[in-house]
Structure 1
Amino acid sequence: MNTYEPRGFTLLEMLIAIALLALIGLIGVQLLQGVLRSGEISQQHAGRLAEAQRAFGLLEQDIGQALKPPIAADHARQLNNSALALPGGNQQLRLLRRNWLNPGGYLPRSALEQVQWQMIDGVLQRRSFGFPAQATSQFDTLFPSVNNMRLRYWLNDRWLENWFAAYALPQAIEVTLEMPGYGALQRIFFITGEP
């Protein structure tokens, strides 16, 4: 006589196998969502760091090319009688810079440019004017989420909190930008002040 031996899986074994496969699938989906979320966060941080790099690069160009203003009365009034005018307290920096590109001399302007950095409602902006003063200016928003901008000036082996010297430049400027999530980002820029 033949005895019947069961072949295959019981219902309980099948249910356990299906539950394990569902659990593995759920873990896989959660891992994939976590990777995608972290990728998005990394892209956001990379974008904010690229903005910071761009802003500090422009600050370096502007401050590194800073000039003492001409002594002529017309030009002095345009710069508030100071090489580094700070009309808004420690939230604003205005200076005259050289080497404003004009390829081939096609544009009817000089190579000098007035640049104004300012904080307006938590946004760091760079404003550019021709020199002598032009009525129109160009705004460039650099940091949409800067909490604060602080400036300090290096002269004769010490840091100064304010700069009011007419027709003079410090040896360096320290710029500190406070951003949410990053804290204080600080750079020191040296000034040659001579062409």
Structure 2
Amino acid sequence: MQRGFTLVEILIAIAIFAFIGVASTAVLTTVIDSDELSSARFEKFQRLQRAVTTIERDMQQAVPRAVRTDGQTNTIVMRGGESDESDNDGLAFVRSGWQNPQMMLPRSTLQAVAYRVRDGKLERLYTNYVDNVVGTEPKVRVLLEDISEFKIEFIADIDEEENSLSDNDELNWRESFVGATLPKAIAFEFVSDDFGRIRREFTLSGASL
């Protein structure tokens, strides 16, 4: 004699399958959310790497070339520190190595660049020509967002006899620089909401500390 399932058994089976379905959905949702967070985090990290690489490239290619201001010549090749153009520090100089294959473009391989922070965004400014006509507006590229602090420090020339540094001495960083020659080194330091405080130090023109 065949015996079927009772109503209680069927209800229990439905309850078990429903519980398994809810648990599976919760696990799947958690996995999807984690993947989205990981992807977003990885994308921000890649952007940070690109920004640091861009800064490093510009620093390593800095050249002692002055820029005409409003059509007037001057001797200043680098200017940095507190700036009215930036919410924090700012920096301006000329770098070489701007690719122009076979000089086919109507410009040189030099490029005037500047860095500043506006509304929590680290920006790189540049122009097509080192010496621009009066009123030329620079192009702006946002490197990083959610930047709460931005500081630039410099090491100028060190007198070998009077101010030589041993391995145990601290480097004498200064908060601003305006000069007709390039400093020995530059330090970039900024605070990112995503990655905290980041500092990079660069030597210029092959100078050794």
Question: Offset at 1:28?
Answer: 0.6
Question: Offset at 1:87?
Answer: 5.7
Aligned equivalents of 2:111 and 2:73: distance in 1? 12
Q: Which amino acid aligns with 2:195?
A: Y
Question: Offset at 1:125?
Answer: 0.8
Match of 2:138 in 1: 137
Match of 1:109 in 2: 107
Match of 1:180 in 2: 193
Question: With structure 2 as the length reference, what TM-score do the two structures score?
Answer: 0.78
- Would the aligned equivalents of 1:67 and 1:193 in 2 still touch at CA under 8 Å? no
Gaps of 5+ in 2: 159-164, 166-170
Gaps of 5+ in 1: none
Distance 1:175 1:72, change over 3 A: closer
Aligned residues: 187
Match of 2:64 in 1: 68
Match of 1:52 in 2: 48
The answer as to 2:79 corresponding to 1:84 is: yes
Larger radius of gyration: 1
Give the share of equivalent positions with the same residue, in percent. Answer: 28
CA RMSD, aligned part only? 2.6
The answer as to 2:176 corresponding to 1:163 is: yes
Deviates more, 1:165-174 or 1:95-104: 165-174
Distance 1:75 1:40, change over 3 A: farther
Question: What does the per-residue CA deviation read over 1:25-62, in whole Å, with 9 as the maximum and x for residues that have no partner?
Answer: 10111111111111111121112111111111110111
- Would the aligned equivalents of 1:83 and 1:167 in 2 still touch at CA under 8 Å? yes
Match of 1:147 in 2: 148
Question: With structure 1 as the length reference, what TM-score do the two structures score?
Answer: 0.83
- Would the aligned equivalents of 2:67 and 2:131 in 1 still touch at CA under 8 Å? no
